[in-house]
Amino acid sequence: MTTTRFAPSPTGYLHVGNLRTALMNYLIARQAGGSFILRIDDTDATRSTQEYADAIREDLEWLGLTWDQEEKQSDRLDRYAAAADKLRDMGRFYEAFETPTELDLKRKKQLNMGKPPVYDRAALALSEDAKAEMRAERGNGVWRFQLDHERINWTDGILGDVSIDAASVSDPVLIRADGQVLYTIASVVDDTDMGVTHVVRGSDHVTNTATQIQIIKALGGTVPTFAHHSLLTGPQGEALSKRLGTLALRDLREAGVQPMALLSHLARLGSSDPAELQMDLQSLVDSFGLSKFGNTPTKFNVDDLYPLTGRYLQALPLADVADTVSGLGVPDDLAEKFWGVCRDNIETLNDLEAWWTLCRDGAEPVIDADDADFVAEAMTLLPEGPYDDTTWGTWTAAVKAETGRKGRGLFMPLRKALTGQSHGPDMGSFMPLLQVIKAKA
C-alpha cells in the first residue's frame, strides 16, 4: 500500500514551503488510495512546543488535508535507541569528540587546500583508552554513522537519476553529545516501521537522502521512493527562506485566502500544468502528477492567491458563506441579493464588510466639481426607497430625459455619488441593497 507522510518539526508555524511538501505527500497517498501519516518531528525538545504542534494540526484541518495516522517522535525514543544499538553492534557507529570549533578549523583547512570539507574520521583511529580519556575530559562524544564509501544511487521522483559519492559526504552525526537523537536516524526508523513507501521533501534534503539510504539498508529496511521538489523563491527569484515566516498559513487564512485557492496554486506551481483553480480536493487529487514537476527553483508570489480566492468565492452559493454574511448583520431577506451582487466584487470574504457598511450606512458621495449641478438635479429625481431592480433603470432614464446626458457621463457621476467609488457592482442590482443614500440628503 502506498504510504506517505508529512513530518514537520513543531518549531514554528507552517508556511507555504511546508505546505508544498504536505500537499504533494497528501495527493500521492490519496491518488493511490493509500495512507497519509502526520508525523510530528519533535526530537529537539528545546525547540519543539505543544503550541506549534497544535497549530500544525489546526492549519492542516483548515485546508482539509486529513491524515490517517498521527505519530510523534518523542513517543518513539526507545525505537531509535534500539536502532542505534544495532548500528553500534554492526560496527557502523562511532563516537567522536571534536568540538564545533575544532570541526570548523578542519573544514577551513580542507577548503584552503581545495578539498571538500568532509569529516576526516579522525575519531575512528582513537583507541578505547584515548576515548575514555576524551570522555573524562570533554564529556560524551557525538555518534556518527560510518558511511560506506561507494556511490549512492536512486531514481528520484522529480530529479530523475541521482548519484552521490558517499566519500563526498561527512559521516552524519545521529546522536548528539547530550544524547539527543537526531532527525536523520529517527526519520529512517519511522519510515521503516511505518511502512512509508514514498517520501517527497525539499531539495535541501538531497544529501540527507543519500545518507539515509545507507542507514535504511544497514538497518535492514526497504528504501522508499524519494522525490525532492525545488525550493520556493520570491517573485524575483530571491531566496524565500527569510520571508517564509511572513508566509505562515495562519496569516494567509487571516488575510482571507481560501484553502482551495492556496491548494490549487501550490499543487501546480513549478509543474508543467497551468495554474488552475479547482473547486475541491478531489479534482486536485485526480490531476496531480509528480513527474510534471521540474527541478528549477519555483517562484512564489503571494499576490497570486487573491485572484484565485476571488474566483473561488464567485462560484459559491450563499449557503456556503451564509454564516459570514449573517455575521455581518445582513438581514436574511437581503442576504441572497447581497451575496449575488457583491461576490463578483471581492477578493476575499474580508472585503464583504466594506460593501455591507456601504449598503447599511451609505457612502460618502464623491462628486466632481463639473458634475455638482448635474448630480444635484439627478438627486431631486431619485424616488424614495426602498429600491428594487427597476429603480436604477427608471431613474437614469428620467435623469437622461431631464439633463440630456448619456453613457458614461450619465452613469459614472451617479455611481460615484451613490457608492463613493468608480468601480463596483452592477448598479441596477445594487440599488435594492442601498439602505441609505447620503447624496440625497
Question: Which residues bind to ligand GLU, rule: CB under 6 A?
Answer: 7-9, 41, 183, 187, 201, 205
- Helix, coil or strand: residue 9: coil
Nearer to ligand GLU, 174 or 349 (CB): 174
Residue 205 CB, shortest distance to ligand GLU, in Å, is 6
Residue 81 CB, shortest distance to ligand GLU, in Å, is 19
Question: Could you tell me where the beta strands, DSSP code E, fall in 104-255?
Answer: 142-145, 151-156, 160-165, 173-175, 198-202, 225-229, 232-233
Nearer to ligand GLU, 183 or 411 (CB): 183
Rounded to whole angstroms, the Cα distance separating 19 from 253 reads 13
Q: Is residue 117 a contact partner of residue 110, using CB atoms and an 8 Å limit?
A: yes
Nearer to ligand GLU, 45 or 401 (CB): 45
- Helix, coil or strand: residue 165: strand
Nearer to ligand GLU, 154 or 355 (CB): 154
- Helix, coil or strand: residue 410: helix
Rounded to whole angstroms, the Cα distance separating 147 from 142 reads 15
Q: How many residues does the chain have?
A: 441
Residue 187 CB, shortest distance to ligand GLU, in Å, is 5
C-alpha cell of residue 332: 436574511
Strands 93-96 and 142-145, by their bridges, are antiparallel
Nearer to ligand GLU, 40 or 218 (CB): 40
Rounded to whole angstroms, the Cα distance separating 333 from 435 reads 13
C-alpha cell of residue 40: 510530528
Task: Name, in order, each residue with C-beta under 8 angstroms of 347's C-beta and a sequence gap of 6 or more.
Answer: 256, 306, 307, 309, 310
Nearer to ligand GLU, 14 or 63 (CB): 14
Residue 22 CB, shortest distance to ligand GLU, in Å, is 10
Taking Cα atoms as reference points, which of 138, 141, 207 lies closest to residue 170?
A: 207
Residue 325 CB, shortest distance to ligand GLU, in Å, is 39
Residue 145 CB, shortest distance to ligand GLU, in Å, is 16
Dihedral sign, Cα of residue 321, residue 325, residue 327, residue 332: negative
Residue with cell 511502512: 195
Q: Is residue 27 a contact partner of residue 267, using CB atoms and an 8 Å limit?
A: yes
Residue 208 CB, shortest distance to ligand GLU, in Å, is 7
Q: Number of helices (H) and strands (E) in the chain: give both, helices first.
A: 18, 12
Nearer to ligand GLU, 187 or 345 (CB): 187
Residue 198 CB, shortest distance to ligand GLU, in Å, is 11
Q: Which residue is nearest to ligand GLU (CB)?
A: 41
Strands 69-72 and 93-96, by their bridges, are unpaired
Nearer to ligand GLU, 182 or 318 (CB): 182
Residue 21 CB, shortest distance to ligand GLU, in Å, is 7
Nearer to ligand GLU, 42 or 98 (CB): 42
